[in-house]
Structure 1
Amino acid sequence: MQQLYQAADRIEAQLLCDLLDRHGVEARVFGDYLSGAAGELPADIYPSIWVIEDRDLPRAQTLLKGWLDDKRARAEARSWVCHGCGELVDGSFDLCWRCGKEH
């Protein structure tokens, strides 16, 4: 078992763990409830994702890189105007929240 990534929060950790699971990589999130004790523990209490089988680590690292690249691209994406209804949609979305039309 090897550590793959330290997430910013429980949601990010679970999203990544779910992605790995969909691609056949068995992984677990550890430390996802430590933030409840933040007043008594050191500041380094972020959840981490661990790959169970060492042989799956290279594949998990490839999936992680793609996931992080996609996350970064979505954060940098510009807002767009929906051609279906004219609504201004945040750049991180591929579908219009109002009418469901694709970007």
Structure 2
Amino acid sequence: MQLVFRANNILEAHIVAGLLKSHEIECHVGGHFLQGAVGDLPATDFAHVFVERDNIEAAQAIIDGYENNLL
């Protein structure tokens, strides 16, 4: 799987994952267990969304729409 989105937090990662899944793109949210260590780590860059290589272009188009408030 390839990283396609770096979320600000785990909630945003799940929002993007839900958006991708609603377009029938299978994905994985990583970083669940790192949020408990936020007191010791920077509070960013731990929530990521991954998709299969075959779906990168389609996922990126959807994510671009999300980031530009087009969806």
The amino acid that maps onto 2:58 is R
1:45–1:69 Cα change, 3 Å: closer
Distance change >3 Å, CA 30–CA 62, structure 1 → 2: same
Query: Which runs of 4 or more aligned residues in structure 1 lie more than 6 Å from their structure 2 counterparts after TM superposition?
Result: none
Structure 2 unaligned spans of 5+: none
Q: TM-score, normalised by structure 1?
A: 0.61
For structure 1, the residue ranges without an aligned partner over 5 or more in a row are 72-103
Question: Superposition RMSD on alpha carbons, in Å?
Answer: 1.6
Equivalent residue number for residue 54 of structure 1: 53
Q: Which has the higher strand share?
A: 2
Which is higher, the Rg of structure 1 or of structure 2?
Answer: 1
The share of aligned pairs that are identical, in percent, is 30
Give 1 or 2: higher helix fraction. 2
> What amino acid is aligned across from residue 47 of structure 1 in structure 2?
A
TM-score for both structures, normalised by structure 2 = 0.85
Return the alpha-carbon distance in structure 2 between the equivalents of residues 59 and 32 of structure 1. 25
Structure scoring higher RCO (CA < 8 A, sep ≥ 6) equals: 2
- 1:32–1:48 contact (8 Å) kept in structure 2: no
